[in-house]
Amino acid sequence: MSPWHCVLVIYLILITSSSAVDAITKPSSSSSSYLSLANQFLAPHNAARTAVGMRRLVWDSKLAHYAEWYANQRRRDCALKHSNGQYGENIFWGSGSGWTPAQAVAAWVSERRWYDYGSNSCAYGQECGHYTQIVWGSTRRVGCARVNCYGGRGVFITCNYDPPGNYIGERPY
């Protein structure tokens, strides 16, 4: 098993364990069992980057404010539409209300299976741009937000990246 698969397997075990999800998403009297919202996003991003030898991302409050502003725009319809701003951007939608930051990032990272580094392309008919944005070598900062959409329409999550990635013809790392 490659180091990447080990990281992903361990991470998926953690996020699917109900006690781990509770520790990540629910504040408790013990501050050591609660991760900040920023760390709920950062930990899976940085696990994916570490697996391919990329520098860790840092949380950026300016990007987080932008993500929060845009997530609030999507709160009414929960539509999977990009903001078309100046940053790289990943968006996620899930039905219901229980989706965590870690689950959204895990969904994006799971696209790795469709990315072929040799040809610098996705498998035919598949998406891998969320994954390549996460591991883009020149990206240094991330900020994200999560909202429950009105009328039970689900959860909308967005992360913004600076500098952005996914330039045509360039490899992510």
The mean per-residue pLDDT over the stretch 27-47 comes to 71
Multiple choice CATH, 34-162, 3.40.33.10, 3.30.420.40, 3.40.50.300, 3.50.30.10: 3.40.33.10
The mean per-residue pLDDT over the stretch 154-158 comes to 98
Bridge partners of 89, per DSSP, are: 160
Residue spans per domain, the chain: 34-162
Q: pLDDT at residue 57 above 50? A: yes
Q: What is the pLDDT of residues 97-122, one digit of tens each?
A: 999 999 999 999 999 999 999 999 99
Task: Confirm if 143 and 159 have CB atoms less than 8 A apart.
Answer: yes
Q: pLDDT at residue 54 above 60? A: yes
Q: pLDDT at residue 3 above 60? A: no
- pLDDT, residue 15, reads 38
Distance of alpha carbon 144 from alpha carbon 87, whole angstroms? 12
SS3 string of the chain? CCHHHHHHHHHHHHHHCHHHHHHHHCCCCCHHHCCCHHHHHHHHHHHHHHHCCCCCCEECHHHHHHHHHHHHHHCCCCCCCCCCCCCEEEEEEECCCCCCHHHHHHHHHHHHHHEECCCCEECCCCCCHHHHHHHCCCCCEEEEEEEECHHHCCEEEEEEEECCCCCCCCCCC
Six token digits for residue 139: 């990206």
The mean per-residue pLDDT over the stretch 23-52 comes to 70
Q: What is the mean pLDDT of the chain?
A: 85
Q: pLDDT at residue 35 above 90? A: no
Number of other residues whose CB lies within 10 A of the CB of residue 9: 11
pTM, 2 dp:
0.80
